Structure 1
Amino acid sequence: MSKPLSPSSSYDLHPSVAYVQSILANLEARTGRTLEAWVALARAEGPSDGKARVVWLKAQGLGASQAGLVAQRAAAGPGHAFDDTPAGYLAAAPGYVEAQYGGKKAALHPLFERIVELARSLGPEVKICPCETIVPFYRNHVFAEVKPFASRLDLGLALGDPAAVADLSGRLKDTGGFRKKDRITHKLELTGVADLDLALAWLRRAYGRDLKA
């Protein structure tokens, strides 16, 4: 295989960034308050519990998406990357990966990079969009994702109904996602480069299923 891609060339803009930015762009025009003003109001007058705060904000006239964003920004903890600008998200994305593969998980970072390389090889439509705890792979939708554990990587796959998926290897696991109507329905547990051929085969199938509606 070719050398792994460098982090600076591996990551793409998460689809949620544009969605959040559209909420931010229209918030003041539609509600009469800026995001900063809503955050200040929620902190001063709203409940401290996150779910209760969303309900309270909706009672003040915000839509569900607007209320969720304001409540998240008003929380004491750090904000989600998807509240950021496109440039800010892309600058932060490598840090999310570094954090995921810190400490004892550092030995799995090269394996992760090889999986990214395999995903990229499927076609030019592949987008690699790190989150704080996982790295999803997109075509038109999420077709796969990678999550590190102490001694393995879980490669989540959007393969649909388990009853229609024949797995001769016996390695593929049903996540229960199909029954819950989640995109990710199966996973492979990967521990080393010997697993990459199998990973590529299932990545190819998941990518091929993700056609435009």
Structure 2
Amino acid sequence: MDVDAATQSMIDNLPAKTGRSLDEWFAVLDVAKRDDASLEKHGKTMALLKGEHGMSHGFANLVALRYRARDAGPQTHDDLVDAQYAGGKAALRPILDRLVAEATALGADVEVAPKKTSVSLRRRKQFAVVEAASAKRVQLGINLADAPATERLRAVGGMCTHRVDLAAIDDVDDELLGWLREAYALA
């Protein structure tokens, strides 16, 4: 199940698990926020939902994140990417653009899915994720199952099995593109 499907499943299960729909929780938070402006902070919203309403951590996090996103207004994919590569990270944007171009050239089934802090590359499932980790490097997470780690291709845990740090457009070389093709084939 991909991340978006899992999130939608949680939203669908909110009434059964918490007694209220997402919109009903938003109404609860709107009322509470009138009395306590600090509810603009994620942690304060989480504490309210968990403490006063007995919500589990997962559902409280979902409601808090969605509530803040609602208040922030709609964002396009371009807005999300532009925000990631603003300021000191602007010089890294060509690395992202090249990775996206190479990934989408792998097949018509590649989906480019920008999030708040990363850009996910998916087929049937995510095969890579690109993040502007700092003003000096882009981090490419790749799902390569049992591929052996190297000095450059480091094994990591989490949403991706491996990670490569890229500091310049020249780092998107034949070796890296081979790993990207392999991850695409496995997805």
Answer yes or no: same fold by TM over 0.5: yes
The corresponding residue for 1:208 is 185
Q: Which runs of structure 2 are paired with 1:39-54 in the superposition (5 Å)? A: 39-42=26-29, 44=32, 49-54=44-49
d(CA) in 1 for partners of 2:6, 2:70: 13
Aligned-partner SS, 2:27: helix
Letter in 1 for 2:184: Y
1:158 aligns with 2:143: yes
d(CA) in 2 for partners of 1:22, 1:173: 33
**How many percent of aligned residue pairs carry the same amino acid?**
37
Aligned-residue Cα RMSD (Å) equals: 3.6
Whether contact under 8 Å (2:120, 2:126) holds in the other structure is yes
The CA deviation string for residues 51-74 of structure 1, in whole angstroms up to 9 with x for no partner, is 434435764xx7876554333345
The corresponding residue for 2:22 is 35
1:99 aligns with 2:83: yes
The corresponding residue for 1:116 is 100
d(CA) in 2 for partners of 1:195, 1:70: 39
Question: Compared with structure 1, are the counterparts of its residues 154 and 26 closer, same or farther at alpha carbon in structure 2 (3 Å cutoff)?
Answer: closer
The corresponding residue for 1:172 is 153
Letter in 2 for 1:105: K
d(CA) in 1 for partners of 2:136, 2:181: 25
The corresponding residue for 1:199 is 176
The corresponding residue for 2:118 is 134
Aligned-partner SS, 1:183: coil
Shift of residue 108 of structure 1? 1.4
More moved, 65-74 vs 126-135: 65-74
Shift of residue 147 of structure 1? 1.1
d(CA) in 2 for partners of 1:151, 1:51: 33
d(CA) in 2 for partners of 1:192, 1:158: 22
Q: Which one scores higher on RCO, CA 8 angstroms, separation ≥ 6? A: 1
d(CA) in 1 for partners of 2:18, 2:79: 34
Q: What is the TM-score normalised by the length of structure 1?
A: 0.64
Q: 1:184 aligned to 160, 167, 182, which one? A: 160
Question: Compared with structure 1, are the counterparts of its residues 33 and 172 closer, same or farther at alpha carbon in structure 2 (3 Å cutoff)?
Answer: closer
Letter in 1 for 2:161: T
Question: Compared with structure 1, are the counterparts of its residues 73 and 130 closer, same or farther at alpha carbon in structure 2 (3 Å cutoff)?
Answer: closer
The CA deviation string for residues 114-173 of structure 1, in whole angstroms up to 9 with x for no partner, is 110111112222111011111111112221111112122111111224xx4264xx3112
Whether contact under 8 Å (1:160, 1:185) holds in the other structure is yes
Number of aligned residues:
176
More moved, 34-43 vs 200-209: 34-43
Letter in 2 for 1:111: I
Q: What is the TM-score normalised by the length of structure 2?
A: 0.72
Question: Compared with structure 1, are the counterparts of its residues 205 and 38 closer, same or farther at alpha carbon in structure 2 (3 Å cutoff)?
Answer: same
Shift of residue 79 of structure 1? 1.5
d(CA) in 1 for partners of 2:52, 2:109: 38
